Amino acid sequence: MVDLGWASKQGHILTGAGKLTACFRPGRDYTDPDDLPHFHKSKRSTSHAFRSWSGAGRSTTLIAGAWERPLFSGGWMESGGADTDVFNIQTPSLFVDLRFPAARRCGTATAAALRSSEGFHGLTLDQLRQLSRQHCFAGYSLVSGVEPPVCVRHHAVDWNYHPRFPRARPNKWRVELKDDRSTFKEFGFAKDKYGQAVYMERWQRLPDSDGPFLALWSPGRSGSSSSSGSSSSVDGDGGGGSGSGSGTVGRRRTTRHCDAILCISGNHFGLAVDRPTDYASGPIAGLQRASKGGCAALVDYAWERGDRAAMVEMLSVEGSYGRIAPTTTAKGGSTTKKPWEIQASTFPWLEVGGVHCLYVVAPHFLLLPSPPLLSLPPFLSPFLLSFFIHLKPPCPPVCFLMRYSQMTFSHLLL
């Protein structure tokens, strides 16, 4: 069973046992509100901001790669591989960051029960509550400075986002990178009265992740077409991904297109698709009366009231991690490769061994702001081709923008 205290522990560490707000002062430590992670998301200016930063060359390979997190420390508490699995896929511009409690690992009874479900509709209210104890966020990383470099992350997709409870402090931290680029430390920008970072995370590079890098972005937009392939709410019998091809499982209703980001670092990919909902109406609107934000707290609020629809809407952020060409050893010593294998997801039924396991990720995306594009290794080509082949009805026409150095290419996919 997932530890229901997992999310609160992660929050305790991040805030240094509640010190963060007092230590992180606007004007002195950050620009308010421009540096706040949900500023552009709340203003619906993410598209303009991302394009502006990309066009201005605001990108760097300094911390680009796929990372796991051996240590997360703050407020006299620690977290690491023993209790949490983290997959942080960072390109020179965009990132996808996924975090799962250890009880979700393959081989556990909890993981088996969640993976065997047909989707949200196959889960009990208690299981939905357990599913809220995970995290997914994605967006743009702006890195500036040299001694030390400082990173500010802006979120286009966020598991914990609700407009009633925006994050009040930046996702801003200092970078200490080891010379061989195999690991780096993330020190929270806010410092306590002793001059120490409120929290610290150590990141370890995963094998085969130091390039090439590819970032695709599909900016959300409102719409009214019922056949555009856009999304507004998740069907009760599935949710997320490109579907399994069986019935309506895994498919979304088609009235609103969500922000979505796909990041590739070497042989690793991270996918994030925002929840398809209008926060001003529908079941999720009732969560504004909750006393505090965060997905876990809001799902708990809905759980106490037996509001299944609101729980499902809050849980409808898809975050998936996997490898582009993983190799598995079968009995007898032979090896097989399954492209785009999802190994961990906020939608457990899409994972390896899940009833709707996907081997080709095929949502719709727009932007490639991360070089190098022309130096992609040959093994990527057929999988990218598969990616584009799966852009078929009911997906909408997609304007595919690619940036490589000073060159801009555009291609319309119907």
Mean pLDDT of 246-250: 32
Residue 340: pLDDT band with limits 50, 70, 90: confident
Read off the pLDDT of residues 52-97 as tens digits, 9 standing for 90 and up.
Answer: 999 999 999 999 999 999 999 999 999 999 999 999 999 999 999 9
Question: What is d(CA 207, CA 268) in angstroms, rounded to the nearest whole number?
Answer: 9
Contacts 24+ apart (CB under 8 A), 285-288: 286/310, 287/162, 287/164, 287/314, 288/162, 288/164
Query: What's the pLDDT score for residue 326?
Result: 63
| Tokens (6 digits) for 108 | 């556990």
The reported pTM is: 0.82
Question: What is d(CA 82, CA 286) in angstroms, rounded to the nearest whole number?
Answer: 36
Query: What's the pLDDT score for residue 202?
Result: 98
Phi and psi based region of residue 35 (left: phi greater than 0; alpha: psi -120 to 50; beta: remaining): alpha
Query: What's the pLDDT score for residue 195?
Result: 95
| CA 305 distance to own-chain centroid | 28
Residue 337: pLDDT band with limits 50, 70, 90: low
The runs of H, that is alpha helices, within 172-307 are 295-304
Query: What's the pLDDT score for residue 219?
Result: 80
Is residue 60 a contact partner of residue 92, using CB atoms and an 8 Å limit?
yes
**What end-to-end distance do the CA atoms of the chain give, in Å?**
44
Residue 45: pLDDT band with limits 50, 70, 90: very high
**What are the phi and psi torsion angles at 22 (to 5°)?**
-70, -30
Q: At what angle do helices 6-14 and 295-304 cross, to 10 degrees?
A: 140
| CA 189 distance to own-chain centroid | 22
Q: Which residue has the higher pLDDT, 228 or 153?
A: 153
Question: What is d(CA 348, CA 113) in angstroms, rounded to the nearest whole number?
Answer: 9
Query: What's the pLDDT score for residue 69?
Result: 98
Q: Secondary structure of the chain: what % helix, strand, coil (to 5)?
A: 20, 30, 50
Is residue 399 a contact partner of residue 414, using CB atoms and an 8 Å limit?
no
Query: What's the pLDDT score for residue 357?
Result: 60
Residue 341: pLDDT band with limits 50, 70, 90: confident
Is residue 365 a contact partner of residue 198, using CB atoms and an 8 Å limit?
no
Read off the pLDDT of residues 161-202 as tens digits, 9 standing for 90 and up.
Answer: 999 999 999 999 999 999 999 999 999 999 999 999 999 999
Amino acid letter, residue 212:
P
Query: What's the pLDDT score for residue 368?
Result: 36
Query: What's the pLDDT score for residue 282?
Result: 87
pLDDT tops 70 at residue 293: yes
Strand 367-368 relative to strand 398-404: parallel, antiparallel, unpaired? parallel
Q: Which of 101, 107, 163, 97 is nearest to 132 (CA)?
A: 101
Amino acid letter, residue 175:
V
Q: Which residue has the higher pLDDT, 15 or 350?
A: 15
Query: What's the pLDDT score for residue 399?
Result: 29
pLDDT tops 60 at residue 241: no
Query: What's the pLDDT score for residue 105?
Result: 85
Read off the pLDDT of residues 108-145 as tens digits, 9 standing for 90 and up.
Answer: 888 899 999 989 999 999 999 999 999 999 999 999 99
Question: What is d(CA 371, CA 360) in angstroms, rounded to the nearest whole number?
Answer: 23
300 Cβ partners below 8 Å, 6+ apart? Answer: 129, 132
Is residue 317 a contact partner of residue 274, using CB atoms and an 8 Å limit?
yes
Any idea what DSSP says for residue 121? G
Read off the pLDDT of residues 350-389 as tens digits, 9 standing for 90 and up.
Answer: 887 665 665 444 433 433 333 333 334 444 444 443 343 3
In total, the chain counts a number of residues equal to 414
| CA 216 distance to own-chain centroid | 13
Read off the pLDDT of residues 256-287 as tens digits, 9 standing for 90 and up.
Answer: 567 889 999 999 999 999 998 889 888 999 99
Query: What's the pLDDT score for residue 366?
Result: 37
pLDDT tops 90 at residue 325: no
Is residue 96 a contact partner of residue 82, using CB atoms and an 8 Å limit?
no
- The C-alpha angle with vertex 324 and arms to 322 and 329, in degrees rounded to 5, equals 85
Q: Which residue has the higher pLDDT, 80 or 394?
A: 80
Is residue 191 a contact partner of residue 199, using CB atoms and an 8 Å limit?
no
